[in-house]
Structure 1
């Protein structure tokens, strides 16, 4: 992959005097563990200087967590805090369902003595993280011979389903958040109608996040097991009871250990191609599709098989557009943390 220059971001403050040598505390907030880093703005990049990981639920607020990080690393000076949150941010406030507390930028500023606090959606932060990736962080799943610069789509299945976009303004890319993962899932085939009915009894409203996430992967599995009557092998029962389902089902499909493993992963990959297709068409993302997050990285070898691309380009009238969309896998596990820091450093003049 030699095309990271294609991800040129709109960063109007990259040369501003006030942003030179600025120190930033960046956080990637997650349900179980939160990653926090101290960054310094250097030569148009953000450089990670210190980092720590904390149990999210231990703290009474995000401010308490940040102050713990400041104390742990004996940080004397910093100018900004940037927090990537797994949910919508509106008016400097956010109340993500996966976190134990609400966030308010003004309250955090007062509690930490920061000059400025930014809250940013985690997938928007991941989009900004493209400004800090290196060639080795990006694998090409499909390269087009007819590349046309344009909008870019990001799809990230993990604990939830993150979706974001980057608007092409003719010169650079401008990241923006969406909540597309919460759009309703729609079945296409008779088997998928059965799957929808199975999920409808559990959730009522069936979103794409109920299909393309770690819990969604298990939903597919138990549909195949319970409705399609595929046998659950003893070794997989042991892995499920030990809390190792995701890695076990992927390994089982990779090693072709049992039919139920292969069926589960094949179904997940088909749905991933379907939703990728929809997101790209809605954003007219001729600049590319970026897959990232926990599950695509665990399933890289399945993405590189021709079936994913074949399912991705299926369309009533738009196959001629879809067939030329480049597809990339971003493997940097700190892209959200990096992106939140880059946003705080250079998004304003």
Structure 2
């Protein structure tokens, strides 16, 4: 019997799950799961120690999916001031093995274990088993990963930092928003993640408001965003406030914000698809897509995704799925953690 700690560590929240494995295959029983606000802890170790204090089980190993690059089992998180080293974690937590894996590598493992009812298909095309699979997902940041087939039903999985490539504006409005973000953030370069993410939703809203591009707005939404700007209270999730108002169709400013966000998301997904030719499937993960499913399905997402000039037709053969299972990264970290000997 093996007891494993699986973790999905993000800039906003960390999910820890304790699982018991009684067979050599990936069959496990969930023993305990707790979600923690990441920024309230100075490091992962005290969080895990607090977690283990809630159970009498003694874990053998751990696998943590990290929102940031992992190099030689060391990671400096992108959106959290933590540096993690697998060897140090192993010693401090008194475990036999600790594995660190990029969060989108974990999601990439996880999509292999998803069931049909955990997916919403945007483009129904038969997947090619010998072709790559692409994974993209906007949440606190923007993650991208991919899988390449080995020919025996197995895949090599790779996480990337593709979300940190330059944001390519496609219209005069997007150029104006690009310059606004540069000035607001006091930066010389704007990555795709600055637009296609939760923070991007907020920046788009602020740009449309401050540049007076959209002057028709919901005062309640505006007051909540202003309160968050002035206090940075964790009681308000500004991206959620904006997206919910857009879904309810109660705020023209929020609706335009989400329209721009979704089309920028689609354009980046199309760029990723052109680079990988993922005829095994493109999976859209991250928390934002599933929570805004109706907006995406009623948007120009597919049209913009395939707006690639002369090569547009090659994207017709890419199966596109939105991942509905919010814990796909956790599932992937369990699968990866159990595969390490």
Match of 1:29 in 2: 9
Deviation at 1:244, TM superposition (A): 4.2
> Which runs of no fewer than 5 residues in structure 1 stay unpaired?
1-20
After TM superposition, the structure 1 stretch with the greater mean CA deviation from structure 2, 211-220 or 28-37, is: 28-37
More off after superposition, 256-265 vs 152-161: 256-265
**Is the 1:152–1:287 Cα contact (8 Å) retained in structure 2?**
yes
CA distance in 2, matches of 1:101, 1:330: 28
SS in 1 for 2:70: coil
Aligned to 1:291, the other structure's residue is in SS state strand
C-alpha separation in 1, matches of 2:77 and 2:237: 26
Matched, 1:120 2:104: no
Match of 2:53, SS?
Answer: helix
Unaligned runs of 5+ in 2: 229-235
User: SS at 1:72's partner residue?
Assistant: coil
- The answer to whether the 8 A contact 1:45-1:342 is kept is no
Post-superposition Cα deviations, 1:85-115, rounded to whole Å, max 9, x if no partner, equal: 1100001111113233211111111111211
Greater RCO (Cα-Cα under 8 Å, separation 6 or more): 1
Secondary structure at 1:84's aligned position in 2?
Answer: strand
The worse-fitting range, judged by mean Cα deviation, of 245-254 and 185-194 is: 245-254
Partner of 1:237: 222
Are the equivalent residues in 1 in contact too, given 2:145–2:160 (CA < 8 A)? yes
The answer to whether the aligner puts 1:168 opposite 2:168 as a matched pair is: no
Correspondence for 1:224 among 208, 218, 230: 208
TM-score w.r.t. length of structure 2: 0.89
Q: 1:28–1:230: structure 2 CA closer, same or farther, 3 Å change rule?
A: same
Is the CA contact 2:10–2:140 (under 8 Å) kept in the aligned structure 1?
no
Partner residue in 1 for 2:233: none
- 1: CA distance between counterparts of 2:238 and 2:85? 36
**Cα distance 1:119–1:244, how it changes in 2: closer, same or farther (>3 A)?**
closer
Instruction: Calculate the TM-score normalised by the size of structure 1.
Output: 0.87
In 2, Cα distance between the equivalents of 1:206 and 1:273?
18
8 Å CA contact 1:141–1:303 kept in 2: the answer is no
CA contact (8 A) 1:27 1:35 kept: yes
The residue that corresponds to 2:54 in the other structure is 72
For 1:289-338, what per-residue CA distance to the aligned partner results, in whole angstroms no more than 9, with x for missing partners?
A: 11111110111012223621111111122222101211101111211112
Query: Number of residue pairs matched?
Result: 326
SS in 2 for 1:317: helix
- Two-structure CA RMSD over aligned residues (Å): 1.9
Q: Quote the residue 1:12 is aligned against.
A: none
Q: Is this contact kept in 2: 1:288–1:328, CA < 8 A?
A: yes
Which piece of structure 1 moves more, 150-159 or 165-174? Answer: 165-174
| Mapping for residues 193-342 of structure 1, pairs under 5 Å | 193-201=175-183, 202=185, 203-231=187-215, 232-240=217-225, 241=227, 243-305=236-298, 307-342=300-335
